[in-house]
């Protein structure tokens, strides 16, 4: 499974994450933040664990990355094959 970076800032334009916008990353694991009664109306969505540009393993939400579509995955596979 692969994701593409959409945004390098979670809250404001000065807190840049170690990701590159438009770059495709391999997903190591997909996780979810457990439900908590104190956050009953907070949608956290899936968390994608991947290796960022600094070489560290980190988790990012769907506000920063999104899954590739089938056609995008196909294009990535063709690039890897050199076609």
**Residues with Cβ < 8 Å from 74, sequence gap 6 or more?**
none
Supply the pTM of this predicted model. Answer: 0.79
pLDDT band at residue 11 using 50, 70 and 90 as cut-offs = low
Query: What is the domain range of residue 10?
Result: 2-81
Count of domains forming the chain: 1
Tell me, what's the pLDDT at 13? 58
Q: What is the pLDDT of residues 22-81, one digit of tens each?
A: 999 999 999 887 777 776 777 677 899 999 999 999 988 888 899 999 999 999 899 888
């Amino acid at each position: 499974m692969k994701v593409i970076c959409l945004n390098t800032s979670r809250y404001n334009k000065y807190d840049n994450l170690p990701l590159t916008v438009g770059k495709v990353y391999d997903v190591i694991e997909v996780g979810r933040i457990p439900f908590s009664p104190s956050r009953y109306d907070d949608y956290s969505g899936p968390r994608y664990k991947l290796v960022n540009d600094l070489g560290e393993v980190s988790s990012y939400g769907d506000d920063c990355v999104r899954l590739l579509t089938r056609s995008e995955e196909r294009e990535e596979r063709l690039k890897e094959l050199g076609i």
